[in-house]
Each structure stands twice: as structure tokens, then as C-alpha cells.
Structure 1
Amino acid sequence: MSARPIGDYAMLSDCRSAALVTSDGSVDWLCLPRFDSLAIFARLLDEEAGCWTIRPACPAEVTRRYVEDTLVLETTFRTREGTLVLLDALTLRAGQNVGQAWAPDPPRRTSWAVARRIRDTVAGWRSWSRGHADYEGPWRRHVNHSGRVLRAMTYAPTGAMVAAVTTSLPESIGGERNWDYRYTWVRDASFTLHALNTATCEEEETAFFTFLSRVCATQVDAGPDLQIMYGIGGERDLSERRPSHLWGWRDSAPVRVGNDAWRQRQLDVYGELLDAAHQTYRDIGPFDPLTRSLLIGVAETAARRRQEPDQSLWEVRGSSRHFTHSKLMCWVGLDRAIALAPVLGAASRVADWTRVRDEIHAAILTRGWNEQAGAFTQTFETAASCADDVGLLSEEADG
């Protein structure tokens, strides 16, 4: 069982996949050609699951850093006999945009050719960084690096962003809540778009919202529940399986490939998508007709299904309940749709949306508040804390 902490890993990316590298030069996680492909190296999840290592044969003092303005990792080993500097990268070719790197059958390369690819990769990341360095404010260096990380977690062919580049890392050591997060969650949209905007990643912001609007549009039109998550290529079926030959990080089984939460009804996603649209509109410009139709349909669905039970953001794998957070996010969806009505061409729907929004507001205050606990409940049926931070209790929230 590995004693290595997760925080020891550094990430490499070519904006199609990612690798995780330990502080002593071992690639313990690599999926190719996509983030969600099967792992080539998986020692992250099992000591016997393979790795690729370059390090001195003798003890060494180790330091590492990312080469300035890049995601090229420089690890320095200092030994009694000398110093070794190791450069790790998922490489790009000269003139290539970040995200166009993978070749399925790469040729054998000379040391000179490898060095050239590393130089090209450094140049590619620095070129991208120069084009996304407009942020002015506190922690500028950290914000700029966070922008590179967000870019690194973006699947360049579609604009989708993974929630994580890994699967099956547990919520608690030895626990079973070990999910595959190599997909795009609708719930993350507003937070992701805000982060991209802060890091001045306008192209990535537009691409991500466009991806979401396209994959969601056909489902809303067809009538079933809006999925909570999608594959990075727009896939809908993310059926889960459990490879039995892997023990899991620190024996935290099961290891999962896929995520069966895609089947769940989670009504909060309607509010999340409309909140993302409300937040993004001023940055990405007018919505096209398909997106306008989608957002009107999402608001109508939130209004129609607001009284139905679901699994909510906790993704409980049990019976559906009336989760307070889901009702709250239906309120958010209608509140944002009302604000967006002029640009959606939906002025005729504002009166009905306002009426339903106010009904949800009243229901949360009467059925979702526990006076004895002095807190909102997790569900309308049970008493557990739930917070408000999206304006439900503001003076204007009653319409």
C-alpha cells in the first residue's frame, strides 16, 4: 500500500490528457489518448499497476518547479556524485497550439529531437500564458498559474472541462465513495466560468459554455431529465464498472471507471445552467437561437418539475427525496431566467416564471426551515443544515 500523499503529485497536460508525476520522478498516472481513457500507468491506484521512472540510483536531495509560465515540470536531483535535472512534459510540436499534441503512433526520437519537443512545449505554454495575462489584482502569479491549470484540464477538441484528471481517489482513506471525476458536470458550470473569466481565459470560457449548451440542448428538446454530467466528447452513457484487479489508493476500494450518477435526476442542474448563462452573457455576447431556445426550455422544465423529488447534488444512491438545495436551485434558475428574459425573447413568460419562483421561495421558507435547529434542512423531510448564499433571503427575493 502506497504511503505517498496525493499532494506529492504534479500534473502534466497537453489539453487532451494528463499525467501525474511524483517528486522523485515517477509517472504514476497516465491515460491516453484522452483524460477518460484507460490508464497506461496506474500506480496511483495500485503499487503493481505500472509506472515510468527516471531518477538517480543513489540517494538525492530533490527540488522541483514548473518552468516559468508553463506546465513543463523541472525536477532537480542533487547527489554526492553530481546534479541531474529532469524535464517532464506532455509535449507539443513547433507552431502547435496548446491542446494539439497527441499522435497515436509516435516515431522513435533521437535525444536532439526530444530536446526540441521540450523547447517547443515550453514555447507553446509561454505563448498561451502571454495571451492570458491580463488579470490585475491580488495574487496575480497564482491566478495566472490557475488559468494554466484550468486550460490543462480542458479537452481541447470540444472545450469540455474535467472535474478532475483522476478516478477513484477516496473521500476518506479506506472508504467506498471513490468516484470517477474525468467528466464534465453541469453543476460546476457557473464556478468554472467565473474562474475562467477571472483568469482572463475568454476563449476557454466561450468554448466551455458552447459545449454545455450543445450537449444539453438535445435532451431538453427531447423531454427527459437534463443529465448532470457528460463525457468530454459529449457522451451521455457513462456506465460504471469496477476493475477488480486494482486495490485502490491506500486500499480504498472499489476502483471505478465510469460514473453511474449520470442516470440520476438532480433538479439543481437547471438552476446551475441558467446561472452560468446569466453570469456569462456579458462576456461571450448574444446567444444564438439554439442557445436561447435551450435556456427557455430549461426554465420551463425547472418550473414544471420543481415539486418532484430527486437525488440532489449529494448524488445519493438511494430513494429520491425533496432536497432543499434542489428547490433552491430551481428558484435560482427561474430568477436568472427572469433577468435574462429580454435577451432570450421571453418577455411573455416572465409573469408565470415570477409566480412559480415566488411559490418556491415560500415553500423553502415553510418546509425547508427548522426553527428549533435555526437552520435550513437538507430535505423537506429531514433536519440537516443547508445554507443560503445565492440571494434567497435578500430583501428583493420575494419578487
Structure 2
Amino acid sequence: MNRKQPDIRDLAVIGDRRTAALVATDGAIVWYCPERFDRASLFAALLDPERGGEWTLDLPAARLATRAYIEDSAVLETRFDLAHGSFTVTDWMTAGDVGPRGICRLFSAPPQDVAMALRPAPGYATRTARLRAVDDAVCIDARHWLYGSHPLSIREGGVGMELPAGQAGWAVLSDAPLAAPSHAQLEGWRDTTLAEWREIASQVAYHGPFERQIAHSLRALRLLTYAPNGGIIAAATASLPEIPGGTRNYDYRYVWLRDAGMIVSALVRAGSHGPDERRFLDFICGSKRAEPDKPLLPPFLSLDLEAAPGVTELDLGGYAHSRPVRIGNGANRQLQLDGFGNVLLAAKLIYGRHDTREHWETVREIADFLAAHWHEPDHGIWEENVARQYTVGKVIASCGLRYIADFADDAAQAEKWRAAAREVEVYVAAHCITSEGAYAAFAGSEAVDVSAVLFPTWGYGAPDSAEMLATLRVLERDYARGDLYWRHLEEAGGREEGAFLAGTLWVAQYWILRGDLPRARRMLETALAYATDLGFFAEEADPRSGAMLGNFPQTFVHASFIGAVIDYRHALAEAANAKPAST
């Protein structure tokens, strides 16, 4: 066996809003963590094609013809051109109350014999799967059951099925034993899943520029939402590298406070009726800690509302030989002020949209915490190892306190928060400006970070202030290549990573505020060039090779794209309304 790892750009995502699987353009399922996004993998060929496990189709001389989702669902149809005709595979994970938890695959009648092979590698390939024939199924580790339309055979540590030419077929990998399925049942499960996704998609109605691409980004956010409690994870994968062959390989299958403001803003402003963003706030506020010696909220959470586990390194080859391969995340004990500020921004948006003050006790405690602790060094928006006085954390704390003061219980409470916000502004002006007049990445630094372009979007100063003009000059000189932008990292290797796509979209949003819509559109289109054919973004892009880098798909980037496009739509409308009537 000598399989290549798929390019990140070639990956599609199927899911049931509990977990997800990644499907390559050759029909192989190369990443799957049964039951929940952050559980151990059964297939991890994405990180080790030799040992990681996968579910493949043997299609000699096949050419990918088309692949697309049915409607706004996560039901994926892939059509291959074979030597004597076409062959279609429909992949999905059942949603709704009908059907198994697991992966369903429908196969059209192929023009030639097709072989299917499932090679499980449980626990991130740390153990050999126990395979046992049970009636018409194969049981895997007494936890998963594989059913097929044609006889299944156990061989060489895997399970095979032959699909003869001219015969349609199917396969189901279930988390529980089933009564023997039929082709008609699978079609019924597919139709029920489509109906469920129609209902989910109906909660947001966006019309305007980049309409198809916005639909793709909304699908990404929905796919990475954990339906049982509303948590939205950062990405479906772990350890996809920010630097190919390097060590910046992290596990993103957790829920970050930092993402809250950006994701809630995207959903609210895209026209959501409320369920997803309000449940996301439910999730975040449900994680409040009671320990007096710890921050009120951890910077990110597992899907059971606990601090995410620490790092474990796995004996896997790594994507593009990038090691170590990590699960868990070691930044879970850091103080990250920007996370608290983002929760306040999210609450403000929901309160304003829905005329409510849900979770007010927790939101009030977050505001009190920021008012009391904004002056402390933290680890910043990029979770650097060394704590510093990062400017972005100060600024978003100030903005969050000002905004949430509008919902305060009384005048004294509101003034306490506004006074703290003013103190932050004085501190930033005195300590967080470089010798060139730009916003510094942290107090006393001459470096600049792309997150500063968000300040006027948050309402912190004008987009054409002297500080912002200086900041853009430095970013364009030192952190840009064409229309792509890099973030500033103090850590070793930071200069070697790819362009940061969310930052590029933030710069587009900045130019929308400045009224330069052609430049903003060009940047939006540049970012879209680093999306997949199905509209998914990874975290970063390598402009030299065109490769996508980092974990996938990245909700932070999708939320940033939605926010920038919404601002672009509003700016276009304002420009149209401002045109003088023709005479």
C-alpha cells in the first residue's frame, strides 16, 4: 500500500452536527471521529495514509466529473467518469430522528466492477481493530457495525465489498447494531436528512453579493455546530500544519471564546432568526467556573463544557510529515482577555437583536471581571507562550465594556464599566503606539498585528484616524504579499506560516469602512481563491504553492468572510442610495 495524503483543497465534509467526516476527491473517507467531533478517530489517513485508517473505493482510471451538495444540505454527491460510463456516490451522516448514527453511502450502478475497502484504525491508530462477522454485518471493536448491499468479507485487517457492474448498492457504518437495512431504507434516511437540513437552512435568509459563497460559509458553520448543546468548534481536524513539515500543528476541535463575537455577529447579520447564535451563547455561558483562583471562563472548552484536555502527542506520520501530531490543546490555562471581550460583543448583538438579556448574571460577571483585570498581561489573540500587554485584548475589552454598559442594571454599574473602558483607552494611547504611530502588537513593541484592522469595525476609533493610517502602512509594508496578509507571531516559526485568511478578510472589511469598495472586493475574491470548490476555507494559504494550510474547515475564517460580505452589501446599498437622481 502506498497512498498519498489528499490535498486539503480536495476535502469535502459530511456531518450530522455531532461529528464530521472528510471525503477526498477519489471517494476515500480519510478522517472520522465517531460519536463526537473531539473523540478518538476511526479513520485518520489524513494524518498518516499508511497506518491511520480510511474507507476507500477502488476506481481504476476514474476521473472526478462533479461533486456538489444537494441543496443547502450536507449530503454530498460525487460523480466519477469511468472507462465505460459514470458512477455516483452519495455520502451523508443522518440528521433528524430517523436512521443510524454514522456514515451512509449510496452507490449508483457502476459500468464496471467496483471494490470497496474499509480499513479501521481505532483510537488514532493506537490499536488494531477487532473484526467479527455478525449475521449480515461486520462488528468493529464491539462499537461500530458495517452493513452492505453485497457480501462483506474480512481480510488483512479490513472489510471489503465487491459491487458488480450494473448493480446499485450501499453501505452503512453505524454506531449501533441495526435491523438489516435495505436500499429503500437508505433512500428514506437520505430524504429525512435532506428535510432536516432544509429546516436548519431556513433559519437564515441571505440575499445579495456573493450569495452562493455565503451559503457555503453558513453550511460550514452549521456542520461544525454541536447540536446537543450549541457549541461551535473551531475546525473539524487536529494537527493539520500551519507550516508544512513544521511543528505548529494543533487540535482545533474545541469551542473558543474568541470565536464567539465573530460567529454570533456573522449569524445575526446574515439574517438568522436566532436559534444557532443564542444556543452558542447558552454554551459559552454554561461553562462559567466557580473557582476563585481561576478566570471566570476558560479560553476554550470541550463539548462537555469542561476545560479542553492537555496535549498528547501521537505516533503518526503527520500531514506532509509535520510532527508532532497533537491532540488536546496546551493553551487551556491561559488568560486571553480578547475571549471575554468577544463574549460581551456576542451578548450585545443578541440583546439588541432579540430584545433580551439572557444569561445576564454571567455576562455581568464577565464585564466585572474585565473591568477588574483588563490591565493584566495575557497571552493574546494568538495564544503566544509569553504573557504580554497585547493591544487587541485591551481594545476589545474596552469595546465590550462600553457596549454592554447600555444593558446595565443601573447607572452606577454602567458607569463602572464605562470608566474601565476609558482607562483602557488611556493605557492604549500611552503604551500601545509604535514609533511610527501605529497600533503595536503589544505594549512597547514596534511590531504590528493584522488584528488591529478590526478596531474601527468594533467602533474603536475612526478608520481614517492617524493611528489606523499608520497601522495600514506598516501592515502593507511588512505583513502583506499582494492582497494576502500575515499575522504577527513572536514565537519561533511565526514568520514561516501561511497568509492568515481571516486577517485578509478583516483588511477587506477595513477598506469597506474607508469606502474603497473595488479594493475590498478584490480582497474578498483573493480569499475566495483559497477556498475549495465546495466553498470551505482552511486557516491559512501559501501564495507560492497555492496550498491550503492549517485545520479545516475553519469557522473563524468563514465567520470573517460572512461579516465582510455583509458590510460590503450594506456599503453597496448606501452607495446606490447616495447617487443623485438622473435628470
Same fold (TM over 0.5): yes
Relative distance call for 1:34 and 1:280 in structure 2 (3 A) is same
Cα distance in 1 between the residues matched to 2:56 and 2:399:
49
Relative distance call for 1:360 and 1:94 in structure 2 (3 A) is closer
Shift of 1:280: 1.4
Amino acid at match of 1:325: V
* Counterpart secondary structure, 1:68: coil
Q: Is the 2:31–2:41 contact (alpha carbons within 8 Å) kept by the matching residues of 1?
A: yes
Relative distance call for 1:78 and 1:323 in structure 2 (3 A) is same
- Which of the residues 9, 32, 35 maps onto 1:7? 9
Q: How does 1:5-84 map to 2 (within 5 A)?
A: 5-48=7-50, 49-84=52-87
2:183 maps to 1:115: no
Q: Is the 2:5–2:46 contact (alpha carbons within 8 Å) kept by the matching residues of 1?
A: no
Shift of 1:323: 1.3
2:389 maps to 1:322: yes
- Deviation digits for residues 128-158 of structure 1 (CA, Å, limit 9, x no counterpart): 33x2353232233332343232111110111
Residue number in structure 2 paired with 1:278 = 348
Residue number in structure 2 paired with 1:154 = 225
Residue number in structure 1 paired with 2:325 = 255
Unaligned runs of 5+ in 1: none
Amino acid at match of 2:243: S
Give the fraction of aligned pairs with identical amino acids, expressed as a percent.
Answer: 32
* Counterpart secondary structure, 1:331: helix
Cα distance in 1 between the residues matched to 2:379 and 2:337:
8
- Deviation digits for residues 91-119 of structure 1 (CA, Å, limit 9, x no counterpart): 236668x99x9963132423333333223
Residue number in structure 2 paired with 1:106 = 177
- Which of the residues 262, 277, 281 maps onto 1:205? 277
- Which of the residues 312, 333, 336 maps onto 1:266? 336
2:299 maps to 1:299: no
Relative distance call for 1:304 and 1:61 in structure 2 (3 A) is closer
Q: Is the 1:35–1:165 contact (alpha carbons within 8 Å) kept by the matching residues of 2?
A: yes
Cα distance in 2 between the residues matched to 1:142 and 1:199:
15
Cα distance in 2 between the residues matched to 1:201 and 1:5:
36
* Counterpart secondary structure, 1:242: strand
Unaligned runs of 5+ in 2: 105-172, 466-583
Cα distance in 1 between the residues matched to 2:388 and 2:96:
52
Per the normalisation by structure 1, the TM-score is 0.89
Relative distance call for 1:185 and 1:61 in structure 2 (3 A) is closer
Q: Is the 1:15–1:154 contact (alpha carbons within 8 Å) kept by the matching residues of 2?
A: yes
- Which of the residues 444, 451, 454 maps onto 1:381? 444
Q: Is the 1:206–1:284 contact (alpha carbons within 8 Å) kept by the matching residues of 2?
A: no
Cα distance in 2 between the residues matched to 1:313 and 1:277:
19
Per the normalisation by structure 2, the TM-score is 0.62
| Larger-Rg structure | 2
Alpha-carbon RMSD: 2.5
Cα distance in 2 between the residues matched to 1:284 and 1:46:
47
Q: Is the 2:308–2:329 contact (alpha carbons within 8 Å) kept by the matching residues of 1?
A: no
2:394 maps to 1:392: no
- Deviation digits for residues 323-381 of structure 1 (CA, Å, limit 9, x no counterpart): 1122212212221222222xxx14222223222221210110111001x3231111113
Cα distance in 1 between the residues matched to 2:220 and 2:300:
21
Q: Is the 2:405–2:418 contact (alpha carbons within 8 Å) kept by the matching residues of 1?
A: yes
Q: Is the 2:30–2:46 contact (alpha carbons within 8 Å) kept by the matching residues of 1?
A: yes
Relative distance call for 1:333 and 1:59 in structure 2 (3 A) is closer
Relative distance call for 1:357 and 1:92 in structure 2 (3 A) is closer
- Deviation digits for residues 34-84 of structure 1 (CA, Å, limit 9, x no counterpart): 000111100111112111012423433432111223211111111222211
- Deviation digits for residues 212-244 of structure 1 (CA, Å, limit 9, x no counterpart): 11213x34x74621311011221224221111x
Figure out how many residues of one structure are paired with residues of the other and give that number. 383
Amino acid at match of 2:333: R
Cα distance in 2 between the residues matched to 1:250 and 1:256:
14
* Counterpart secondary structure, 1:77: strand
- Deviation digits for residues 190-216 of structure 1 (CA, Å, limit 9, x no counterpart): 111122221525211111111111213
Residue number in structure 2 paired with 1:331 = 398
Cα distance in 2 between the residues matched to 1:92 and 1:351:
48
Answer 1 or 2: which has greater strand percent. Answer: 2
